[in-house]
Amino acid sequence: MSSVSRPLLQVQDLHAAFATPNGLVPAVDGVSFSLSAGKTLGLVGESGCGKTVTALTILRLLPEATSHYRGQVWFAGQELLSLPTADIRTIRGNRIAMIFQEPMTALNPVLTIGEQISEVLRLHRGLSRAAAWEEAGRSLLQVGIADPASRLSQYPHQLSGGLRQRALIAMALVCRPQLVIADEPTTALDVTIQAQILALLAELQAGLNMALLLISHNLGVVAQITDRVAVMYAGRLVETAGTVQLFAQPRHPYTRGLLASVPKLNFHSAPDPLQAIPGQVPSLGEIPPGCPFQPRCPRAFSSCNQPPPWFQVGPEHQVACWLYAPGGNYA
C-alpha cells in the first residue's frame, strides 16, 4: 500500500475453522491483505478455497457456536474481531455493506423492496418511516431502476434477476458505506445483465469513493474492475499484485494454471489448447502440509514440503512459492 494514509481495511493473519464431528476443519489459514478507500481488491479463487469465509469472518457473520476464528481485522481504526456484538451491528450494513451472490435468497420474500431498504435507514440512520421510504426511492433511482415509486411496493419475486441484484446493491449502498464486500455479485446473472451490473458497481464506487472487496472466481470480471488482486488457494493467499501486473506476469504456478485454463473468446484462429491443471481442489481437512498446491504443481520440488513464506517479486507483487526464494535459480 502506498504511503500517505493508513488503509481503510487491514486484515492480519486471519484464521477461521469449523467444528465438525471429525474435528476442527480449517477454512481460512493465515490470510493478510489491506484495502484503501476508493480502491478495489479482487479476491480470486475456485469454489471452496475460503473466499466467502474470509468475507464472513471480517463481518463476524459466521455462526459463533461452530466456528473459530483468530487474527486481526482493522477497519478505520477499530479491530472488528474483538468488538462487542452490539458495536459490530452498528458497523455492519452501515459502514461496511455486503452484496451477496444470490439475489433471490438474500432478499426477504415476504417483505417489499421498499420495506427492506427503509428498514436499513430506520435502523442505522434513525429516519422516520416516511423519510426512509423517500430515501429508499432515491437509492433505487441511483442504481438505475426506473419508476422507483412502484418498485418499492413490489415483492422480490416480482422483479427479474437483474432488477433484484440492483435492489440489493441499492440496499447495500443506501447508508453510504466506506467499504462494500461483494461476493460473486454477478455470478447468477446472464452476461448482458452482468455487464450492466459491473458498469454500475464501478461507477458508484468511483462516485462514492468506497472501497470494494470483490470476491469472484471469474478472472474476466476481476480484470475489468479491480486495482489489485489476491489469489487464494485452499484457504491461503498464494499471490498478490496490482491487477495489470498480475495478468501480465503471473508468478505462482497456480495463478498461471488458472489463467491458462480459462477459454479465451476467440473466433479468429484455431483455439489455443487449454492448459488444464491436473487433479482437483483439495477439500477442507485434506489440505496437504507444506505448500497446499504442491500435489497439483508441475514445478514442485523438495522445498515444497515446507509452507512457503512470501517472496517479493516486484513492486507490490508478492508470491508464496519456493521457486522465488532468493538464490533459487527458478525465478
Partner 1 sequence: MPRGEIMPEPLLEARGLSKVFATTGAWTRRLHVAAVTDVSLQLYPGETLGLVGESGCGKSTLGRLLLALIPPSAGEVWFAGHNLSALPPAQLRRLRQKMQIVFQDPYSSLNPRMTIRQILEEPFIIHGLGNRADRREWTVTLLREVGLAEEALHRYPHEFSGGQRQRLGIARALALKPQLIVADEPVSALDVSVQAQVLHLFNELKGRLGLTYLFISHDLSVISYVSDRIAVMYLGRIVELAPRQHYARPGLHPYTEALLEAVPVPDPAYRRPVPRLQGDPPSPIHIPPGCPFHPRCPEAETICREIVPEFRQVAPDHWLSCHRR
Label residue 320 exposed, middle or buried (CB < 10 Å: 0-12, 13-18, 19+). Answer: buried
159-188 residues near partner 1, rule: CB under 8 A? 160-163
State yes or no: residue 262 binds partner 1 (CB under 8 A).
Answer: yes
Number of residues that bind partner 1 (CB under 8 A): 46
Give the one residue of 85, 109, 157, 264 binding partner 1; rule: CB under 8 A. Answer: 264
**Nearest distance from C-beta of residue 310 to partner 1, angstroms:** 23
User: How far is residue 44's CA from residue 187's CA, in Å, rounded to a whole number?
Assistant: 13
Binding mask 32-71 for partner 1 (x = CB under 8 A): --------------xx------------------------
92-131 residues near partner 1, rule: CB under 8 A? none
**Nearest distance from C-beta of residue 64 to partner 1, angstroms:** 30
40 to 36, 87, 156, 241, 248: CA distances (angstroms): 8, 26, 29, 12, 18
Element (H, E) at 253: helix 253-260
In the bound state with partner 1, the residue whose beta carbon lies nearer, of 92 and 164, is: 164
**Nearest distance from C-beta of residue 154 to partner 1, angstroms:** 15
Candidates 16-24, 175-183, 192-200, 315-323: pick the segment binding partner 1 (CB under 8 A). Answer: 192-200
State yes or no: residue 147 binds partner 1 (CB under 8 A).
Answer: no
Residue with cell 459490530: 88
Give the one residue of 78, 128, 158, 275 binding partner 1; rule: CB under 8 A. Answer: 275
**Nearest distance from C-beta of residue 87 to partner 1, angstroms:** 38
User: How far is residue 177's CA from residue 168's CA, in Å, rounded to a whole number?
Assistant: 14
State yes or no: residue 192 binds partner 1 (CB under 8 A).
Answer: yes
With contact defined as beta carbons under 8 Å apart, do 167 and 159 qualify?
yes
State yes or no: residue 157 binds partner 1 (CB under 8 A).
Answer: no
In the bound state with partner 1, the residue whose beta carbon lies nearer, of 77 and 267, is: 267
Q: How many CB atoms lie within 10 A of CB 208?
A: 14
Residue with cell 472487496: 213
Binding mask 279-298 for partner 1 (x = CB under 8 A): -xx-----------------
**Nearest distance from C-beta of residue 326 to partner 1, angstroms:** 29
In the bound state with partner 1, the residue whose beta carbon lies nearer, of 37 and 260, is: 260
With contact defined as beta carbons under 8 Å apart, do 57 and 14 qualify?
yes
State yes or no: residue 266 binds partner 1 (CB under 8 A).
Answer: yes
User: How far is residue 241's CA from residue 324's CA, in Å, rounded to a whole number?
Assistant: 15
Give the one residue of 68, 141, 153, 271 binding partner 1; rule: CB under 8 A. Answer: 271
Q: Give long-range contacts, CB 8 A cutoff, 24+ apart: 26-31.
A: 26/235, 26/284, 26/285, 26/287, 27/53, 27/235, 27/284, 28/53, 28/54, 28/57, 28/69, 28/235, 29/234, 29/235, 29/236, 29/287, 30/71, 30/236, 31/71, 31/232, 31/235, 31/236, 31/237
Q: Give long-range contacts, CB 8 A cutoff, 24+ apart: 200-207.
A: 200/143, 200/144, 200/166, 200/169, 201/169, 201/225, 204/142, 204/143, 204/169, 204/173, 205/38, 205/40, 205/180, 206/38
Candidates 50-58, 106-114, 115-123, 154-162: pick the segment binding partner 1 (CB under 8 A). Answer: 154-162
Give the one residue of 70, 150, 244, 312 binding partner 1; rule: CB under 8 A. Answer: 244
- Residues forming contacts to partner 1 in the complex (CB under 8 A) are 46-47, 160-163, 190-196, 198-199, 217-224, 243-244, 247, 257-259, 261-268, 271, 273-278, 280-281
